[in-house]
Structure 1
Amino acid sequence: MGFQRRHTGPRRLTSLEISTKMEASNSTPLPYEDYSPGVWQCSPIGTNDFGRTFLPPFYYIIFIISILGNGVVLLVVHKFEKMNTITNIFLINLVASNIIFTLTLPFYAVYHSSEWIFGEPMCKLVTSAYYLGFYSSILFLTLMTFDRYLAVVHCIMANSQRRSIYAASLSVAVWIISLLASLEYLIYFTVEESQVGGLSCNDPRVGEWKTFALYKQFVLFFLFPLVVFVYCYSRITLTVMHTRMVKKHHTIRVIFVTVLMFFVFWSPYNIVLVMREYKDPNDCNSNLPHAVYVTNNVARLYFCINPVFYIFLGRKFQNRVREMCLKQDSCLTRQICGGRSIGSSS
């Protein structure tokens, strides 16, 4: 969630120190400065200025792209597909996850531009909603990958056992797991104020709790999905290559792009977080704070628009979008032609 402060009884700054820091940043108080001993010994003013400039417009752009992209996916599924198929049940839940995630971004855009102005209840709600959408999005992608593996590699068994109730039950399980994983943020996040940083929405816990949260995310929501992705898509690729399936090269290309996008967008952030965990807090020449900003938000971009990556590459979906556009063009042409005929008759 960006570069956050951890408060463990920060020392009070003198008025001269506050004035000096404010003057150095040439801005209003920064929302993410951390003066906690042993956590971050370097002044984060440059990092916060970087975040203030970079993040708000980036969040608004992601918000617009995500709403439009996920909206198109829902529209196409609603108009051309059966809503109760296994794939579409998973897909609709994935879109719901991304929309929940996306709706939190305007709050963070305002937060990074100044401070947290929405109060403590919204701090808890927005943060838990962010992680609810974030975790469920990853798990639904993993579930869809495993389901595709069953449908291709174990098609006989899968066709006899895969039903709508199977998809609905697994979807409920994903939401429960994601809700439990995000519950700690609803409980522990709070609004705090410092003399320089203003109001911040963060988790005041330090030490082992922070380390546990880091490795929980790294193992459950990065390593586990990555292993499932690589294994399932490797088996799918081998199965496709050993059959005479039509257009198998296109299928393999879609598989490759799906795995590659997950790795490219999601890996850097997890690697940087682990590196920061072992970083010397007295090392003020490190670029890790900037790296956390950038990689975190690249990951956010992926989890907002992953349904677009996931199905826009499919030819069936491309044909549906083309068909929908052609219908719109046809209606527009008739309206234009009708208007011209009326005009000419007058």
Structure 2
Amino acid sequence: MNPTDLPDTTLDESIYSNYYLYDSLPKPCTKDGVKAFGKLFLPPLYSLVFLLGLLGNSVVVLVLFKYKRLKSMTDVYLLNLAISDLLFVLSLPFWGYYAADQWVFGLGLCKFIYWMYLVGFYSGIFFIMLMSIDRYLAIVHAVFSLRARTLTYGVITSLVTWSVAIFASLPGLLFSTCYTERNHTYCQARFSVNSTTWKVLSLLEINVLGLVVPLAVMLFCYSMIIRTLQNCKNEKRSKAVKMIFTVVVLFLCFWTPYNVVIFLETLVELEVLQDCTLERYLEYAIQATETLAFVHCCLNPVIYFFLGLKFRKYIVQLFKTCSGPFVLCRDCGILRLYSAETPSSSYTQSTMDHDLHDAL
């Protein structure tokens, strides 16, 4: 019998077997619920962080220029930290609109905003680390700090820090792109070659530069400061230790959850963790912990600026003499009250008081 005369059961069996094989394959992990959650909650949260961060850090910059006049390394670091946070928060309105709708600002702004966000992120972390080192030098190596903690060295180290932050943000600038998929326009990093490797490296970069290195530096510096203060009979010691504890705990509370989630995301990219439900939960967690980390840039003015007694006086005076926080003061006679700062040629108890007051 000719094979063509046989019933075409083989073709039918093949069709059904392929159908059931396809039906048994794992379906794509959909994350529509995550997108709906982000569209509802992220825009108002980003707007709140933007307003608080813009207000607080703008006041810091205004007071530094009006009253402090950038006379020390600490002042330079405070200014750069405020500028870093301003860069960071200025990107949030774009991300807020993006979360609510889609990216409508074009490729050029996509790359620039993505890069500005990363530069603000890394530089802010780095200047927090530098301020820890500045405190360490002021308290633990007080005599050496008289030569090291100068305005010139502050400017030089700040320029180096900005250079490192810009270099660390280059992958975001190079690989961020604007593309349309299913009638929705996205702005995010896309790695065309070795995409998994590049994405894992970028996630690890956030973990290492955003948590591991600064946390190690902070723990070392502040542990040495506390040890030094324990051997010093000073009425401000308790207040200084409390502030150190506050700085470290807040840094851990606001940044550790985000970095833990980023690390788990790295394991997903490496296919160490493979579960659709887990991936969806991680997407929710990224949105929540990232917003929590954003809040830290609003707290920086409080942690590093407003808690000082002298700075509180500046803030009170600023709002007394100004019609608003962003209007130049008409009466600047208060400058004479704070200009009589006489440097000491030797390290004394009053020098320690000054270091605890200004550096902490």
- TM-score, with length taken from structure 1: 0.80
Matched letter for residue 287 of structure 2: Y
User: Aligned-pair distance for 1:325?
Assistant: 4.0
SS in 2 for 1:199: strand
Q: Which residue of 1 aligns with 2:276?
A: 283
User: Aligned-pair distance for 1:48?
Assistant: 0.5
SS in 1 for 2:277: coil
Q: Is the 8 A contact 1:41 1:281 kept in 2?
A: no
User: Aligned-pair distance for 1:94?
Assistant: 0.9
User: Does residue 299 in structure 1 map to residue 285 in structure 2?
Assistant: no
User: Aligned-pair distance for 1:164?
Assistant: 1.3
User: Aligned-pair distance for 1:158?
Assistant: 1.1
- How many Å separate the matches in 2 of 1:101 and 1:131? 8
Following superposition of structure 1 onto structure 2, how do residues 244-259 of structure 1 map, counting pairs within 5 Å? 244-259=233-248
Q: Which residue of 2 aligns with 1:265?
A: 254
User: Aligned-pair distance for 1:327?
Assistant: 4.8
Alignment partner for residue 115 of structure 1, among 95, 102, 112? 102
Alignment partner for residue 196 of structure 2, among 204, 207, 229? 207
- How many Å separate the matches in 2 of 1:185 and 1:328? 41
Following superposition of structure 1 onto structure 2, how do residues 119-198 of structure 1 map, counting pairs within 5 Å? 119-195=106-182, 198=184
1:14-62: CA deviations, max 9, x gaps? xxxxxxxxxxxxxxxxxxxxxxx99x93211000011011110111111
Following superposition of structure 1 onto structure 2, how do residues 1-346 of structure 1 map, counting pairs within 5 Å? 41-195=28-182, 198-205=184-191, 206-279=195-268, 280-284=273-277, 287-327=281-321
Q: Does 186-195 or 282-291 show the bigger shift?
A: 282-291
CA-atom RMSD in angstroms: 1.9
- How many Å separate the matches in 1 of 2:322 and 2:126? 35
Gaps of 5+ in 2: 1-24, 324-360
Matched letter for residue 302 of structure 2: V
User: Aligned-pair distance for 1:284?
Assistant: 2.0
SS in 1 for 2:104: coil
Q: Which residue of 2 aligns with 1:34?
A: none
Matched letter for residue 310 of structure 2: K
Q: Is the 8 A contact 2:178 2:185 kept in 1?
A: yes
1:278-303: CA deviations, max 9, x gaps? 24343325522111100011111113
- How many Å separate the matches in 2 of 1:201 and 1:326? 44
Q: Does 71-80 or 274-283 show the bigger shift?
A: 274-283
Q: Is the 8 A contact 2:204 2:266 kept in 1?
A: no
Q: Is the 8 A contact 2:81 2:127 kept in 1?
A: yes
SS in 2 for 1:287: helix
Gaps of 5+ in 1: 1-36, 330-346
Q: Does 156-165 or 280-289 show the bigger shift?
A: 280-289
Alignment coverage as a number of residue pairs? 291
- How many Å separate the matches in 1 of 2:244 and 2:299? 17
Matched letter for residue 252 of structure 2: F
- How many Å separate the matches in 2 of 1:164 and 1:66? 26
Matched letter for residue 98 of structure 2: Y
1:188-224: CA deviations, max 9, x gaps? 111111115x000011112100111111121122100
User: Aligned-pair distance for 1:169?
Assistant: 0.5
SS in 2 for 1:207: helix
